[in-house]
Structure 1
Amino acid sequence: MKKFLVALMVAFLSLSAMSAVSAHPHHDDDDKMSVREQLAISKKALEKYRDIDVALDEGFKGLVPGACVPNMGIHLIKPNRVDDAKLHIKRPEILVYEPLKNGKYKLVAGEWYVPAEKTKKTPVLFDQKFQGPMANHDGSPGKHYDLHVWLFKKNPDGIFKPENKRVSCKYAK
């Protein structure tokens, strides 16, 4: 558990130190599309990350033994995504994986993240207000907003709920 907390602290500190992000989608066209269309575009863009090695090769960090959050999974963070001036439906800052019995990982969700000090209002994406501001989960100073989107594993409580009771850490190493 200590390794998990250290990994999350490093990741969130890295995110907090990056440049400002906007609390709105990147493309003006995103506002003209239905949420269903936006979700389909996002899911298609994230398909390649079903292979966790692709995510790791592209700079996502944070995969450490025991770093599984119950009812969420393992969070891989891409710190340089925060360099984007605005949120984008195709590029979440965090990918969430569920560890499987065979030692592999299943992509279950994307998570969009905004440090609270980088915005004056609650971010919105997919017509959803982000959760927060909330204290950083790793205990580091500061607060953030986040939005989980369960694109690859059905969440019986809703696609935008922060936790998914169907995600297990049973096979985390």
Structure 2
Amino acid sequence: MKRLLVALMVAFLSLSAMSTVSAHPHHHDDDDDDYKYSVRKELASSKKALKKYRDIEVALDEGFTGLVPGACVPKMGIHLVKPSRADDAKLDIRKPEILVYEPLKDGSYKLVAAEWYVPDEKTDKTPKLFNQKFQGPMKNHDGSKGKHYDLHAWLFKKNPDGMFTPENKLVSCKFAK
């Protein structure tokens, strides 16, 4: 009888220990508060650094280019590229390679997103920012040879499909010139 009681106690304690371990994982997953806080903090830092580009003239004065007729991509907007940043694999949450604008009815442009871009030949692994893997590799959108990885972040316009989803059904090219 004593042996049965001891065996039951050992089994009970073993199960208790296992449930404690599984209830308190030692790894970080997407539901972890620290993880969420870290990504929110990075996004806030990025947004703060990019606020000056709400004025498209500031972006143009700093070397972003691509404001040409017909350049509006449906469900994305107009992409302005900073060529000096688009040739390497260096990534900085405060310095995206591309700024995305939505043309407005009054002829102005609203900053809606930022995009980070890495040429495929400049990296041997999928880049990652904001704890998100970039999409790609994919063919270059401008028709040039080569492939790239990219990551959109809808920092200045809500995307109902998610912050990092490439297209945003709320963005229109209706007023593009």
- Specify the TM-score bucket, using the shorter chain as the normaliser: 0.7 to 0.9
Helix, strand or coil: the match of 1:92?
coil
1:70-149 pair list within 5 angstroms: 70-82=74-86, 86-149=90-153
Q: Normalised by the size of structure 1, how large is the TM-score?
A: 0.79
For residues 105 and 82 of structure 1, what CA distance do their matches in structure 2 show? 22
What is the root-mean-square deviation in Å for CA atoms of aligned residues?
A: 1.4
For residues 55 and 110 of structure 2, what CA distance do their matches in structure 1 show? 8
Structure showing greater relative contact order (alpha-carbon pairs closer than 8 Å, 6 or more residues apart) = 1
The structural deviation recorded for 1:83 is: 5.8
Q: Normalised by the size of structure 2, how large is the TM-score?
A: 0.78
Structure 2 stretches lacking a partner, 5+ long: 1-34
Give the direction of change, closer, same or farther, for the CA distance of 1:85–1:169 in structure 2 (3 Å limit): closer
1:153-164 pair list within 5 angstroms: 153-164=157-168
Helix, strand or coil: the match of 2:48?
helix
| Structure 1 residue aligned with 2:42 | 38
Larger radius of gyration: 2
| Aligned counterpart for 1:170 among listed residues 144, 149, 174 | 174
Structure 1 stretches lacking a partner, 5+ long: 1-30
The number of residues matched between the two structures is 142
